[in-house]
């Protein structure tokens, strides 16, 4: 970081952080550096630096932030539109942002080059919808509004830093709304507004399977997906409240469930906003924007618990590590912690003035809770339409 950047970051610290206001009292820290909605927040996967955060927002800005302090480490420059996604690479040495200007940008996170832009990946001019890193290397992919996915290899050798184009995956009609790599990194998955799910070979750029039809999502737009930690199953949600469980290897639908058994208004069916899978327990959570929240028993692919949250439509879900606790972020700004095995509400966290748009869980870290002995815990970080990023915790999870 240059001396000018360091001085600017120090000034941001004074302007954007401080004593926690009363409305954020459940949080341990807050960051108010965005002048608009916070669309993206991601955390480092390093246990030695679990609260290195990257935020992106509707003010066309992105920041690297120290989450336990709300301190700005660097502003990530160059964005021409809203920043809709951020993610760290496999070893946390790089962070990427996806922007509605159609560009994915890659920056260094190392101390001697914090926030340095090293690669610009120009995809479709219709805007990036999401991004994902390869689980084991510096390959990045993004989905775009014109129905394409793009892949690049990020070169990090000093003096040769750049993005090498690898492939463009074509086949979707309409925006590619979600996607990612398989757990082993050998495959790519995408889903889109056309209702189809596509499996790809990232080396050849060829589709290995196209999943459509009534057993999947038909022509209903797919809104979200997650690959189960076992690497064998894919879970996808759509605009009409359906959740489909698919065997990736056989490309067969195993089950089709709903976030609610009945739709009160057929003209406005509940949209599945998020799906999260426990890395330890045989349970998956899914939610919709109409206040329905289900917990799926993955041993028999049935709904274990169905919870109605009334006005609290749910926007995001995340498991707190290997614990059974799943965090549900609401459209009213509340974060709710549920026991996914019993369906019981364990705790409610207040702090945001408006809907929560993004959420991340930190890597496990050794922490001290209430002056007790050191334990392993995680932090929960949320970004909202109110322009604020809040850090909650630590929560004992392992």
Mean pLDDT, all residues of the chain: 92
φ and ψ of 239, to 5 deg:
-75, -5
Residue 102 pLDDT > 90, yes or no? yes
What distance in Å separates the CA atoms of residue 99 and residue 195, rounded to the nearest whole number? 23
pTM: 0.92
Residue 120 has pLDDT above 90, yes or no: yes
pLDDT (tens digit per residue) in 320-356: 999 999 999 999 999 999 999 999 999 999 999 999 9
Residue 22, pLDDT above cutoff 70: no
Cα 339 from Cα 335, distance rounded (Å): 13
pLDDT at 12 over 60: no
User: What domains can you pick out in the chain, each with its CATH number?
Assistant: 3-396 (2.130.10.10)
Four-point Cα dihedral 208, 210, 215, 220, nearest 10: 150
State how far the Cα of 254 lies from the Cα of 100, in Å rounded to an integer. 35
The per-residue pLDDT for range 166-181, each reduced to its tens digit, is 999 999 999 999 999 9
Residue tagged 């966290």 (tokens): 349
Q: What is the 3-state secondary structure (H, E, C) of 242-269?
A: EEEEEECCCCEEEEEEECCCCCCCCCCC
- Please tell me the predicted confidence (pLDDT) of residue 398: 66
Per-residue pLDDT, 336: 96
Q: Quick: pLDDT tens for 136-158.
A: 999 999 999 999 999 999 999 98
Q: How confident is the model at residue 20 (pLDDT cuts 50, 70, 90)?
A: low
**CA atoms of 128 and 142, how far apart (whole Å):** 7
Q: How confident is the model at residue 3 (pLDDT cuts 50, 70, 90)?
A: low
Percent over 70 (pLDDT), the chain: 91
CA 80 to chain CA centroid, Å, is 21
Instruction: Please name the residues in contact with 244: beta carbons below 8 A apart, sequence gap of 6 or more.
Output: 215, 216, 217, 235, 236, 237, 238, 253, 255, 256, 257
**Predicted local confidence at residue 370, as pLDDT:** 64
Lowest mean pLDDT segment, chosen from 38-42, 188-192, 203-207, 296-300 = 203-207
Asked if residue 65 has pLDDT above 80, the reply is yes
Predicted confidence at residue 159, as pLDDT, reads 84
The pLDDT tens digits for 251-262 are 999 999 999 887
């Amino acid at each position: 970081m240059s001396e000018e950047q360091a001085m600017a970051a120090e000034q941001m610290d004074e302007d954007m952080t401080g004593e926690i206001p009363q409305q954020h009292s459940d949080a341990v820290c807050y960051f108010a550096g965005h002048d608009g909605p916070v669309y993206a927040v991601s955390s480092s996967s390093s246990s030695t630096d679990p609260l290195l955060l990257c935020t992106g927002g509707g003010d066309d800005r992105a920041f690297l932030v120290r989450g336990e302090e709300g301190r700005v480490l660097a502003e990530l420059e160059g964005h021409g539109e809203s920043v809709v996604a951020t993610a760290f690479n496999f070893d946390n040495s790089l962070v990427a942002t996806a922007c509605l200007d159609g560009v994915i940008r890659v920056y260094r996170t190392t101390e001697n080059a914090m926030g340095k832009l090293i690669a610009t990946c120009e995809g479709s001019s219709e805007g990036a919808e999401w991004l994902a890193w390869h689980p084991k290397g510096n390959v990045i992919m993004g989905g775009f509004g014109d129905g394409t996915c793009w892949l690049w290899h990020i070169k990090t050798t000093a003096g040769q830093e750049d993005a090498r184009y690898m492939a463009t995956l074509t086949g979707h009609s309409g925006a590619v709304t979600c996607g990612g790599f398989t757990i082993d990194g050998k495959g790519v998955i995408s889903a889109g507004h056309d209702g189809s799910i596509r499996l790809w070979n990232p080396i050849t750029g060829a589709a290995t399977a196209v999943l459509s039809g009534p057993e999947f999502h038909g022509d209903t737009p797919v809104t979200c997906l997650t690959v189960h930690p076992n690497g064998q199953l894919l879970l996808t949600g759509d605009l009409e409240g359906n959740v489909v469980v698919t065997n990736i290897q056989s490309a067969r639908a195993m089950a089709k469930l709903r976030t609610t058994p009945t739709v009160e208004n057929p003209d406005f069916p509940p949209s599945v906003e998020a799906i999260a899978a426990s890395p330890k327990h045989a349970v998956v959570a899914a939610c919709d924007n109409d206040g329905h929240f289900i917990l799926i028993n993955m041993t028999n692919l049935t709904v274990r618990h169905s919870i109605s949250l009334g006005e609290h439509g749910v926007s995001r879900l995340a498991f707190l590590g290997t614990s059974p606790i799943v965090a549900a972020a609401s459209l009213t700004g509340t974060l709710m912690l549920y026991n996914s095995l019993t369906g019981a509400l364990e705790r409610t966290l207040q702090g945001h003035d408006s809907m929560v748009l993004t959420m991340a869980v930190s890597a496990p870290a050794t922490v001290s809770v209430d002056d007790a002995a050191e334990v392993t815990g995680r932090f929960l970080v949320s970004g909202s339409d109110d322009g604020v990023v809040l850090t909650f915790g630590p929560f004992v999870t392992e």
